[in-house]
Amino acid sequence: MTRYCGRDFSAAEMTLIRHLIADHPEYHRAALSQHVCRMLHWYKADGGLKEMSCRVAMLRMHADDVIELPSARRAKSPLRSMVFTAATAPPLQIRPPAPHLGPLVLRKVERSQSRLWNEYIARYHYLGYTPLPGAQLRYFVMLDQQVVALLGFGAAAWQAAPRDSYIGWTHALRQRHLPLVVNNARFLILPWIQVKNLASRILAMAVKQVPQDWQKQYAITPVLMETFVETDRFAGTCYLAANWVHVGKTKGRGKLGPSGTQSVPIKDILLYPLNRDFQKILTT
């Protein structure tokens, strides 16, 4: 068995992939990943092809000289720096916060609003903007039609020892149930918004709304939420105030870092159960 992108590929499956490439020289890389997904029955929970995971897996196989992919149809264009517009500029006049907040609304980002969300994150989040991989939901947090904060949720981290120990996961159980965990990958309160307890209030709303939206979008109802808080920058106070549980720290190796060597910042791992029976569900 050889593992790529969280999936074990048998020797027989690798042979099938090589035969597919050899028998269909007309297939480009995208077509190959689609055919491999169908051939190996590699589907998402909502029935769609796990095409992006397959494409990444095949690129890594190619880099390891396990298979030989056809040349890319076109070279990647250099990434353009994001141009900041007036739409995300700080307000000219910052109003002091009202003593009592009006109703907050989590508004899911639609395709037409995607660029605006990306621009806010690029402009004001310390990590800048990078695309969220895999399944995802993004939100604007609205107060009286004003954007006050932004949230992003995506696929859970493949492996995090303190989280896996807290749940009681073996390798096989993690592989089976990982889609039931959702990662809070981005949380940004715009810098000119200064409201006491706003962050924990937003998190309390998110843990109620996101599971419902995730079910509608992906036909999966998550039972656990996770987040990773950079230890040297933040104390994770708003998560703790919203009843998230601190279960440990990362080792700072990142996804591809060498064992025993810190290559990325250490992060605190915090979890929020979305179902009281989450451990039973995730270990059955």
Q: Average pLDDT, whole number, for the chain? A: 89
| Domain hosting residue 111, numbered range | 86-282
* 140 within some domain: yes
User: Does 18 share its domain with 105?
Assistant: no
138: helix, strand or coil: strand
For the residues 24-43, what does the mean pLDDT come to? Answer: 92
As for how many domains the chain has, the answer is 2
Specify whether 95 is located in the same domain as 155: yes
Q: Residue 210: inside a domain, yes or no? A: yes
Cβ pair 271, 279 in contact under 8 A: no
* CATH number where 243 lies: 3.40.630.30
Q: Are residues 253 and 207 in the same domain?
A: yes
Count of CB atoms situated within 10 Å of the CB of 7: 16
Segment 26-51 shows an average pLDDT of 89
Q: Please check whether residues 51 and 93 belong to one and the same domain.
A: no
Q: Are residues 54 and 112 in the same domain?
A: no
Beta strand extents in the chain (DSSP E only): 2-4, 7-9, 104-108, 136-143, 146-155, 181-189, 224-230, 245-249, 267-273
Beta-carbon contacts of 138 under 8 Å, excluding residues fewer than 6 positions away, are 108, 109, 114, 117, 132, 150, 151, 152, 153, 186
Structure tokens at 244: 């998230």
* pLDDT-derived band at 257, boundaries 50, 70, 90: very low
Euclidean distance between CA atoms 55 and 61, whole angstroms: 10
Token pair, residue 156, equals 């859970």
Query: Are 270 and 152 in a shared domain?
Result: yes
pLDDT (tens digit per residue) in 107-147: 999 989 999 999 999 999 999 998 887 789 999 999 888 89
Amino acid 67 reads I
Summarised one tens digit per residue, pLDDT across range 197-218 is 899 999 999 999 999 999 999 8
CB-based contact 154:179 (threshold 8 Å): no
Mean pLDDT of 41-62: 87
Say how many CA atoms lie within 13 Å of 96 toward its Cβ: 1
- Is 48 domain-assigned? yes
User: Residue 103: which pLDDT band, with cuts at 50, 70 and 90?
Assistant: confident
Please indicate whether residue 72 or residue 105 has the higher confidence score (pLDDT): 105
Pair (90, 176) in one structural domain: yes
Inform me whether the pLDDT recorded for 97 exceeds 70. Answer: no
Q: What is the DSSP string of 27-67?
A: --HHHHHHHHHHHHT-B-TTS-B-HHHHHHHHHHHHHTTSS
Dist CA 275 CA 224 (whole Å): 7
Residue 169 lies in a domain: yes
- List the one residue out of 115, 128, 120 whose CA is nearest residue 90: 120
pLDDT-derived band at 4 (thresholds 50, 70, 90) equals confident
Query: Which of 63, 94, 116 marks a domain boundary?
Result: 63
Contacts 24+ apart (CB under 8 A), 164-172: 165/247, 165/248, 166/245, 166/247, 166/248, 166/271, 167/224, 167/278, 167/279, 167/282, 167/283, 168/279, 168/282, 168/283, 169/282, 169/283
Mean pLDDT of 32-38: 94
Q: What is the pLDDT of residues 138-162, one digit of tens each?
A: 999 998 888 999 999 998 998 899 9
Asked whether residue 59 falls in the same domain as residue 109, the answer is no
95 and 53 fall within a common domain = no
The answer to the question of residue 215 being in a domain is yes
Of the three residues 13, 32, 63, the one that is the final residue of a domain is 63
Question: Does some domain include residue 70?
Answer: no
Average pLDDT over residues 87-103: 74
3-class SS of residue 248: strand
User: If we measure between CA atoms, which residue out of 158, 142, 120, 163 comes closest to residue 209?
Assistant: 142
Q: Do 59 and 178 have their domain in common?
A: no
Identify whether 228 is part of a domain: yes
Count Cα neighbours of 71 within 13 Å in the Cβ-side half-sphere: 3
pLDDT above 70 covers what percent of the chain?
A: 90
Asked if residue 99 has pLDDT above 60, the reply is no
Long-range Cβ contacts of 259-267 (<8 Å, 24+ apart): 265/230, 265/231, 265/232, 265/233, 266/230, 266/231, 266/232, 267/228, 267/229, 267/230, 267/231
Tell whether 93 and 205 lie within a shared domain.
yes
For residues 26 and 90, state if they share a domain. Answer: no
Q: Dump pLDDT digits (tens) for 173-203.
A: 998 999 999 999 999 999 999 888 899 999 9
For residue 79, being part of any structural domain is answered with no
